[in-house]
Structure 1
Amino acid sequence: MQLHAGDVGYVWQSGPERTAAALRTWRRDGLLLGVGLLDGPDLVRMAVAPEAREDEELARQMADDVTRPDGGVLPEGEASAEVLWEGPLREALQARGWKPDEPWIPMARDLAAPVAASGLRVETVGPALVDDRVAVHRAAFAGSKFSAERWRAMADGPAYADARCLVGYDEQGAAVAAATVWSAGPGRPGLIEPLGVHGDHQGRGHGRAIAVAAAAALREMGASSATVCAEGANAAAVAAYRSAGFEPGAEVPDLHRAG
């Protein structure tokens, strides 16, 4: 599970300048091979091009840049790196003193077969439904600053051309769950980021239902699979995705550097 185009698209709610300032790239002969996204001042989330996954020279360079304060990625002191796959980059970081930390569970649902109905009435968000999308998000994630203005900024970003926001409504017409799905193009894995259930409507199967609806939307968009990465400690989220047909992969911890 690597950094996805949708992760960058979701950050776009802060505007193009802040999104660009949060990105780090590694190139060789003009070819983009590695990407890092600063998710706050002390966390970098990373990806490597498929053809460079076993490139040890690239791994050493990226690990050096991430580890050294003058490398232009992270400041000195305590920090975390999401490198949620096995290979030379993870090995190179651990050789430089990074230690396994919080576990994550990559989960995926293959989209070769049709997806059954979710059981919720699900609408694609446009200007008329933005307030419902924002209300569900803020009620699902304590302390969230998501707003209609942030949604519009995100929707104006280039990655959102291959994305949809979904809101699910119960039988009484209340907005109870929401998700944003991101395609990386036909035949490629799609991403769910984020997905949440309104705090007043949890424990009623709405998480499973909106996850199924998200998978269906990605299939319509041509994605080969629907993917998500769940915190290992969040048993409820893992159970909801499993019930929606997502298969868990091996648990992978992120990497942490002590201060």
Structure 2
Amino acid sequence: MSIELSEPDVNGLGEAVAALRGWQSDASPLQLHPGDLGWFWRAGPEATATAVRTWSRDGRILAVGLLDGPGLLRLTIARDARRDEELARSMLADVTDPDRGVLPAGRASIEAPMTARLQDLLAGAGWHADEPWTPLHRDLAQPVPPPGVRVERVGPGLAAESTAVHRSAFDGSTFTEERWHTMAAGLPFADARTLLAYDDGGAAVACVTVWSAGAGRPGLLEPMGVHRDHRGRGHGRAISVAAAAALRDMGASSAMVCTPASNTAAVATYRAAGYEPRALVRDMTRDA
């Protein structure tokens, strides 16, 4: 049976999330995670469904993609299908033809597993490797030490304070208390926690949301930010340690995060929190 490209409705998102959960493995490099869909969910379930694409054969999902911004497709593929020639050629046709409803014409980028056959086909079609990103990984086999600051789990009562820290940390952020509630009502947040760190004076200084993919699988930090008025004081390291502890408490095998390799300060922060860098990854980009 041929490969089928689909855009699930809201009720179909659960199947995509379940597929992503099942594909997470410490043996694989960082890839699209249920938490990526969970973080996108802040825009609402309908917007999330509109941004998701799946590729299936005989009713089984083989690949899941997320349109995570204009011209950016982030996707991953089942481990046993990454060298599947039929799947790769079908996906290439879908992502290069704007009429298929995946990517628009002009400049576009695709994040895909580096070992996937699709990577080879994209290169042969004129796509090129873009700027490198650094995945970082912390094994959670052993207990995580205390972060050294007070950390609270965010519920409805702390959502406004947490999102204010996030907006300070990220220029142009539109993450509001209302959007936190929308995210928290989403399917992936059943396996997630938002954490808020405070300094000795009681000021909220850093926040992070962590996403589990289930016991024995790697969890994801997405996103982590430090209030602009409290940077350079170790709060990013502290909240990243707290994130690892929370994921271990949820049964995750490891904690993972990815940041542009050019953001040396972020890489240094995660390394100070016990996260080890892995091999660089790159999107494939098509120029306009």
TM-score scaled by structure 1? 0.98
Measured in 1, the distance between the counterparts of 2:89 and 2:271 equals 36
Give the CA RMSD over aligned residues.
Answer: 0.9
Match of 1:99 among 119, 128, 138: 128
Measured in 1, the distance between the counterparts of 2:144 and 2:119 equals 35
Match of 2:171 among 128, 142, 152: 142
Once the two structures are superposed, what CA deviation does each residue of 1:73-103 show, in whole Å capped at 9, x if it has no partner? 0011111111252331211211111101111
Measured in 2, the distance between the counterparts of 1:133 and 1:49 equals 35
3-state SS, counterpart of residue 38 of structure 2: helix
Corresponding position of 2:23? none
Match of 2:190 among 150, 161, 173: 161
Corresponding position of 2:20? none
Q: Is the 8 A contact 1:67 1:96 kept in 2?
A: no
Measured in 1, the distance between the counterparts of 2:237 and 2:115 equals 29
Identity %: 61
Q: Is the 8 A contact 1:106 1:248 kept in 2?
A: yes
Corresponding position of 1:47? 76
Corresponding position of 2:86? 57
Corresponding position of 2:262? 233
Q: Runs of 5+ in structure 2 lacking a partner?
A: 1-29
Measured in 2, the distance between the counterparts of 1:213 and 1:85 equals 30
Match of 1:69 among 75, 98, 105: 98
Corresponding position of 2:115? 86
Measured in 1, the distance between the counterparts of 2:155 and 2:116 equals 41
* Divergent runs of 4+, >3 A: none
1:31 lines up with 2:29 in the alignment: no
3-state SS, counterpart of residue 193 of structure 1: strand
Q: Is the 8 A contact 1:115 1:212 kept in 2?
A: yes
Once the two structures are superposed, what CA deviation does each residue of 1:104-157 show, in whole Å capped at 9, x if it has no partner? 111111111110111111000001111111111000001100000000000000
Measured in 2, the distance between the counterparts of 1:197 and 1:237 equals 11
Q: Is the 8 A contact 1:84 1:254 kept in 2?
A: no
Alignment of 1:126-205 (within 5 A): 126-205=155-234
Corresponding position of 2:21? none
Corresponding position of 2:137? 108
1:33 is displaced (CA, Å) by 0.7
What amino acid is the match of 1:192?
A: L
1:254 lines up with 2:283 in the alignment: yes
Measured in 1, the distance between the counterparts of 2:88 and 2:136 equals 25
Q: Is the 8 A contact 2:64 2:77 kept in 1?
A: yes
Corresponding position of 1:11? 40
1:121 lines up with 2:150 in the alignment: yes
3-state SS, counterpart of residue 265 of structure 2: helix
Q: Is the 8 A contact 2:82 2:115 kept in 1?
A: no
Match of 1:207 among 214, 236, 245: 236
Q: Runs of 5+ in structure 1 lacking a partner?
A: none
What amino acid is the match of 1:100?
A: A
Measured in 1, the distance between the counterparts of 2:273 and 2:98 equals 42
3-state SS, counterpart of residue 215 of structure 2: coil
Q: Is the 8 A contact 1:84 1:253 kept in 2?
A: no
Q: Is the 8 A contact 1:53 1:87 kept in 2?
A: yes
1:53 is displaced (CA, Å) by 2.1
Measured in 1, the distance between the counterparts of 2:284 and 2:149 equals 38
Q: Is the 8 A contact 1:125 1:165 kept in 2?
A: yes
Q: Is the 8 A contact 1:2 1:85 kept in 2?
A: no
Corresponding position of 2:16? none
Alignment of 1:212-223 (within 5 A): 212-223=241-252
Task: State the number of aligned residues.
Answer: 259
